[in-house]
Amino acid sequence: MSISVNLSDEELVDFVRKNDKESYIEVVRRYQEKLLRYVNYIIRDENQSDDIVQNTFIKAYKNLHGFNTKRKFSSWIYRIAHNEAVNIVRKKKNEISLEKNSWIGEKFAGKEDIIGDFEKKEAVKMIKLSLNRLPIKYRSPLTLFFLEEKSYEEISDILRIPKGTVGTRIGRGKGLLKKICRNQK
Amino acid sequence: MQKSKVKKNIQGSVMDKIRKDHISMRPRIYFIIGSFLFAAGLFFAIIMAVFFVNVAVFRFSGHSPFVFLCMGRPGLGPFISSVPWLSLLVSVLGMTSGLLILKRYDFSYKNNYLLIVIGLVAMVLTSGFILSTLRFNEKISEEKFLRPFYRQKYLSSGWVIGKVEDTEADFMKVVTPGGKHVSILIDEDTEFFPGEDIEVGDTVYVVGEWEGDKFKATKVTERKQGNFLRMQKEKRRSKSFF
């Protein structure tokens, strides 16, 4: 087993920078799944998600010396992935229906029982059903909070918005989701 | 199955690029220089904004374009042409670029950005006002590259500003701070604001049109609390303008 497996994200980045670029494979291993899932929620296009995540890892590698190891690496790499995804969404603008991304439901089917809180469970269900109809402004914080289980602090760092705004957007997003669900019924 | 294939591709593709040196890490110095340039840019933008707010305030206090607004619509053109737009524009540009650079720093989103904007604008305006009260402007306005920003305009095709040297029923003689003597023609259509009690030594703002080398006044107003001393200091500075 490689030494890099036991390191924290920040220690791993430091190790890659100073000693062994080959250990970057561990960074990719740790974040590939998570980033693919997040990017897919934002752009809802599996093929493009792969390209975005690949670009994210390439950009992160190039700018690895720009990362401050006193900060959280996950927020930093999510931020890069978020920016890449948002750029694509802005370019595309056309919405893809949720039916084309039925795998989202499958992917989270086994995860629901982890979330104990009923309200959270409801929100996750609603997000999965109505994500495509939500503006990206609300889609990102809701996805990060309910599906990626990030804290307000981390979401604030990823989206570069104040913590208060994170809370407001999650609250409003939930409200919008409820409306969408009601209309669907 | 398909999922693991995709996963393998991303991982393989990224590592392949790294191993073959198709991509490489930017050196640490690149980021150090970048941070330094951003900090320098922020500093320069704020200094520029403060300096040009100071120039604008200095020029407003030397000859206030707002006096023309007392004359109503005819005063609008002279007001627009005598406002130091360039200084105001440069100070707004300085503030805007300062705020854009600030947005790159983490504290801009960890705190209320609106408060940061208000704070920065208030700081720039206050510093600009304080700077304009110092004698500093009189010294640096002599600098060749700064002269255009300090150059005051005291007469144009439709207006004249000057100190009254002589006054009669149908004319006035004024001298601009630039040292130019102008004869102002007055007739029954000339309106005085707020009254006709203009005396020798008063500073007047006149709107009208040129008739040869004389200026026919349509509206005249007196600047009660004008800083004519400062305007006279301009005389030495703005010789080239006339």
B-chain residue closest to A28, CA distance: B11
Of A7-16, A128-137, B14-23, give the lowest mean pLDDT range.
A128-137
Q: How many CA atoms lie within 13 A of A57 on its CB side?
A: 30
Chain B residues in contact with A36 (beta carbon < 8 A): 6-7, 10
Distance CA B27, CA B24 (A): 9
DSSP run (H or E) holding A121 = helix A118-130
DSSP designation for B162: E
Neighbours of B24 (CB within 10 A): 11
pLDDT at A1 over 70: no
Instruction: Enumerate the β-bridge partners of residue B223.
Output: B203
Report CB contact under 8 Å: A58, B17. Answer: yes
CB B242 within 8 A of CB B178: yes
Report CB contact under 8 Å: A160, B109. Answer: yes
pLDDT at B6 over 80: no
Which residues does B181 contact at the CB level (< 8 Å), separation at least 6?
Answer: B165, B173, B174, B175
Please tell me which of A29-43, A126-140, B161-175, B208-222 the model is most confident about, judged by mean pLDDT. A29-43
DSSP designation for B22: S
**Tens digits of per-residue pLDDT, A48-76?**
899 999 999 999 999 999 999 889 999 99
pLDDT at B241 over 90: no
Report CB contact under 8 Å: B26, A63. Answer: yes
Which of the residues B9, B21, B23, B25 would you substitute to probe the A interface, choosing the one with the greatest number of A C-beta atoms within 10 Å? B25
The confidence band for A107, taking pLDDT boundaries of 50, 70 and 90, is: very low
Does A171 or A182 have the greater pLDDT score?
A171
Report CB contact under 8 Å: B14, A57. Answer: yes
Its pTM stands at 0.71
Chain B residues in contact with A141 (beta carbon < 8 A): none
Chain A residues in contact with B13 (beta carbon < 8 A): 54
Distance CA A19, CA A14 (A): 8
Chain B residues in contact with A166 (beta carbon < 8 A): none
Question: What is the average pLDDT across B42-55?
Answer: 94
- Those residues of chain B whose CB sits closer than 8 Å to some CB in chain A are 6-7, 9-11, 13-15, 17-19, 23-28, 30-31, 34, 106, 109-113
ipTM passes above 0.95: no
Question: What is the average pLDDT across B36-56?
Answer: 94
* ω into B194 cis (within 30 of 0): yes
Report CB contact under 8 Å: A22, B113. Answer: no
- Those residues of chain A whose CB sits closer than 8 Å to some CB in chain B are 17, 21-22, 24-25, 28-29, 32-33, 36, 46, 50, 53-54, 57-58, 61-66, 156-157, 160-163
Closest approach of B113 to chain A, Cα-based (Å): 9
Please tell me which of A66-75, A93-102, B232-241 the model is most confident about, judged by mean pLDDT. A66-75
CB A32 within 8 A of CB A78: no
Report CB contact under 8 Å: B26, A66. Answer: yes
Distance CA B129, CA B164 (A): 30
Report CB contact under 8 Å: B11, A64. Answer: no
Chain B residues in contact with A46 (beta carbon < 8 A): 6
